[in-house]
Chain A
Amino acid sequence: MKINVRLAEPFWRAVGLREIEMTMNPASRADDLLAALREQYPTLGMEFDQTPPHIFIGDVEAPHDSLLTDGARVHLVWPIAGG
């Protein structure tokens, strides 16, 4: 299944892309997606090591074990809220 991944600041800078389309096995979970991204983009994996992302599926923040569905839009966001 296809998953559209959008990378927020500063994650996208590790790969130079704002959006990535990932192909995942059916019944994959968000954690599997992160693992696949780590494998494909090691520099992004280093970012995740420093600051694990908040995962949004569609408009909703989702736990890392959330099931993904074909065509899902996943937004990986830095855990921050300052001013």
Chain B
Amino acid sequence: MARAFISSGPLLEVDLKYQSTIAIINLISGDIKITSTTEELVRAYLGGRGMNMAYLRHYLRTYGGNPRDIDAFDPRNPLIIGAGLLTGTIAPNAARFNVSARSPESGILGDSNCGGFFAAGMRKAGFDRLVILGRAEKPSYLLLEDGKISILPADGLWGMKIIETQEQLKAKHGAGTVSAVIGPSGENLVRMAAIMTGKKNAAGRGGMGAVMGSKNLKAIVARGGEAIEVAQKDTLRALRVKQQEELKTSRIVQVLGKVGTPLLYEVSNRLGAIRTRNSQDNFFEDTLNGEEIEKFSDKMMACTSCVVHCRHRNILGGEGPEYSTIGLLGANIGIAPTEQVIILNNLVNDLGLDASSTGTIIAWAMELYQRGLIDDSMTGVPLRWGDYETVHALIEDIAYRRGFGDKLAESSQAARFFPPEARDYLIAVKNLPQSDPHDVRYFKGFALGIAVASRGADHLRNRPTLEVFKLPDEVRAKIYGRANDPDPTGYKDKGLIIAWGDDMFAVSDCLGLCRFITRGFNSPHLLGYEEFCELIAASTGFEYTPETLRAVGRRTLDTERLINADFGLTRADDTLPKRYFDEPMPARQTKGHHIDRAQFQNMLDEYYVERGWDNDGKVPAKKIAEIDNITTVIARRVE
């Protein structure tokens, strides 16, 4: 095995038995520093998303200049890959990790969350977090093995698609090898490129695959190592058994294990809330219902320590599709045949593209063509709704930056090629195309949620799905901490509910847990702060209360807000696509609904109060000082 250079060293400083081992990898010099994150920082951010944010803010500021001057493809942009605090343990659904950097897609905070088996493998190989700096001279990949890191040449791998890359790496490094890889999209700096840890498992949002490509880094491979040590093994095992039994009695867990997320399509479609033809319409064909997808599925798949098993393995050579992909590569571009949508799902995954952004951007282009804002002289071919062959070719052209695909590879930044009014039809917030296929004009909390989500238009940061459950007043009051308006189509109390979701989901991300076992996402039950506290205590010995744990979520949100403030974001950026304000929904139950601009501002006011930010959406000085104080240790440890 040819190794370009091996430069990992011993662990320099150890504070905690269950501490966060971090490797700072400079791809220019080949230097690798392996150190640990201090107990103070672990207690403050736990791991995963929150810890990534602490490091991201540090690295973007560490050069002394304005973070805005560090382009996403600048070698100084850190690519941070961090496992959750519980990831890889036997805690339920503890598979997840976050990838963070300045986003080449949105230009702001980039952060993507991913499942599969990679993160557990990374931890077992000895690393909780990687900070990757610089740019390798030649295409390379990282091998993490038994506490050491090697930077190896990616000869022969560069240019390969996702599945082939993963298979080649497994063949080379043996059974048990797991990898996070980029495909042609990442190599070609497509701004919506993903990092993939399986056939479908994607760190998809914000173009993290393009950041990896800009560093000439094809893959990160992990193998070997021991089971992750925990503080109280027997207690954790007992908790696992208890929580698993409880989770398996949940109807949503049971149904997700059978139908997967495609079950959601029919619900949104019946309501008249499925983004269709770039949100010009709001309902579509029944061919994309869950049972139609199921006809192409031969097995349900799971991630590390999963009790849900929500992912289809399809008989067309891939995994999925999820609800988001069905909506955005189906209804949103007018493609109805089930098989065609599954083929497109497999295609974007194998090319390493984010399905959400790809579907949103192609739909945007189609509407621009429909309106005559662009024509064949730019597109090369007609762009017509439902034209599967053209879409298939266009997706490949995006990945390889050919023809009109080269322009769409810029994602929302492709607006610079189009007439100014083109922006009016872009379904994005903070330049991030909306992640999910739900048209948010009906449920106002959904709208506020994507408007304020720290990485741009994204439902996984705070989606208040409990809004549709019609829960009794006393139950809602207990969940959210005070009485609140039960009308999901009204504007009142949405700030309270979104702030609650922000914090709960942020803590779940810090721990490396899946949304499908997290309270508030599809169920008022499942695991919440109390259960998280038990898992943390058994895994690390750290004692938290629901209040102190929620404070970790708040701190994570504050840190994200500070990162975005460094990029120049203000209250004006917490907004929605023009269409959501100005065009009423056309049909079904949701007909006539849109977002009232004045009421939206009222929601924003309330949200900022709940977050403890000022009326301009700024984090107050006292909180900034607290975060600065906690994170000063990073500089001492990593430099």
Contacts and interface: CB of A to CB of B under 8 A. Distances in A.
B5 interface: no
Nearest to B591: A59
B500 interface: no
B38 interface: no
Interface in A51-79: 51, 54, 56, 59-61, 75, 77-79
B252, B259, B587 interface centre (most CB from chain A within 10 Å): B252
Interface string B455-466: 000011001010
A13, A51, A61, A82 interface centre (most CB from chain B within 10 Å): A82
B480 interface: no
Contacts of A50: 251
A10 interface: yes
Contact of A10 (B259, B324, B468, B587): B259
A77 B267 contact: yes
Interface stretch (B65-73, B268-276, B372-380, B541-549): B268-276
B438 interface: yes
A15 interface: no
B596 interface: no
Query: How many of chain A's residues touch chain B, expressed as a range?
Result: 20 to 34
Nearest to A75: B270
Contacts of A59: 272, 587-589, 591
Interface in B489-532: 521-522
Contacts of B188: none
A8 B289 CA distance: 9
B255 interface: yes
A61 B268 CA distance: 12
Nearest to A47: B251
Nearest to B468: A81
A83 B589 contact: no
A56 to B, nearest CB: 6
Interface string B262-288: 011011101111000000000000000
A83 B290 contact: no
Nearest to A56: B270
A77 B264 CA distance: 10
A43 B588 CA distance: 30
Nearest to A10: B255
A9 B463 contact: no
Interface string B240-272: 000000000001100100110101101110111
Given A51-B251, A80-B267, 7 more contacts: A9-B291, A56-B270, A59-B272, A59-B591, A61-B271, A81-B273, A82-B264
28 contacts: A8-B267, A9-B263, A9-B267, A9-B291, A10-B251, A10-B258, A54-B468, A59-B272, A59-B587, A59-B588, A59-B589, A60-B588, A60-B589, A61-B271, A61-B589, A77-B270, A78-B255, A78-B263, A80-B264, A80-B465, A80-B522, A81-B267, A81-B443, A81-B468, A82-B465, A82-B521, A83-B438, A83-B463
